[in-house]
Amino acid sequence: MKMKKRTLESSFTICSDRTELSDKTNALLDAALDACSLSYAPYSKFYVGAAILLENGTILKGANQENGSYPLCNCAEQVVLNFANMSNPGSCIKAMAVTVQSEFLSNENPVPPCGACRQIISEQEHRQGEPMKLYLMGKAGLIYIFDGIGPLLPLSFSFSND
């Protein structure tokens, strides 16, 4: 078999003005910002808030929860996805917003989910049979909009061999 070269491409939308977004999307972004205040991050001072929009219009929030033993920490995305699946089994998640506040980083730029959270989001999309829109933002400034996790995790672990 000859080696083949493949190219991976990613695309996303950058929004610089929240007035371009719907009221529902702005409510989701506000919920993610609010969730940062629920973050327990005494070690990193890196406060992450996540919010999801269920198909019925409900918005749920989650925040990162640190532990002195770092492998036992829970990311905001994991917290809110687990909560959604336990409290609303079978519901489709239409969108997720993630925001970060930190004492050490500029709060103007979005920070993408960690690799583990990208895989967990990928699993959720597989579980529900459709992608969820992802909104990433800092405390203020640009918003990155993805039409699913694929552009952030093009080679995810999956059930198919595609």
The average confidence (pLDDT) of the chain is 92
Least Cα distance to 134 among 101, 105, 112 occurs for: 112
- Residue 5: Cβ within 10 Å count: 4
Sketch the domain layout of the chain as residue ranges. Answer: 14-146
The CATH superfamily holding the domain 14-146 is Cytidine Deaminase, domain 2 (3.40.140.10)
Residue 132 and residue 17: Cα distance in Å, rounded? 21
Q: How do residues 4-46 score in pLDDT, each as one tens digit?
A: 998 888 999 999 989 999 999 999 999 999 999 999 999 999 9
Q: What would the pLDDT profile of 108-134 be if each residue is shown by its tens digit?
A: 789 899 999 999 999 999 999 999 999
Tokens read off for 13: 């939308």
What does the pLDDT look like over 95-109, one tens digit per residue? 999 999 988 777 678
The secondary structure of 12-44 as a DSSP string is -EEES-GGGS-HHHHHHHHHHHHHGGG-B-TTT
Catalytic residues: 77
Whether this prediction's pTM lies above 0.85 is answered by: yes
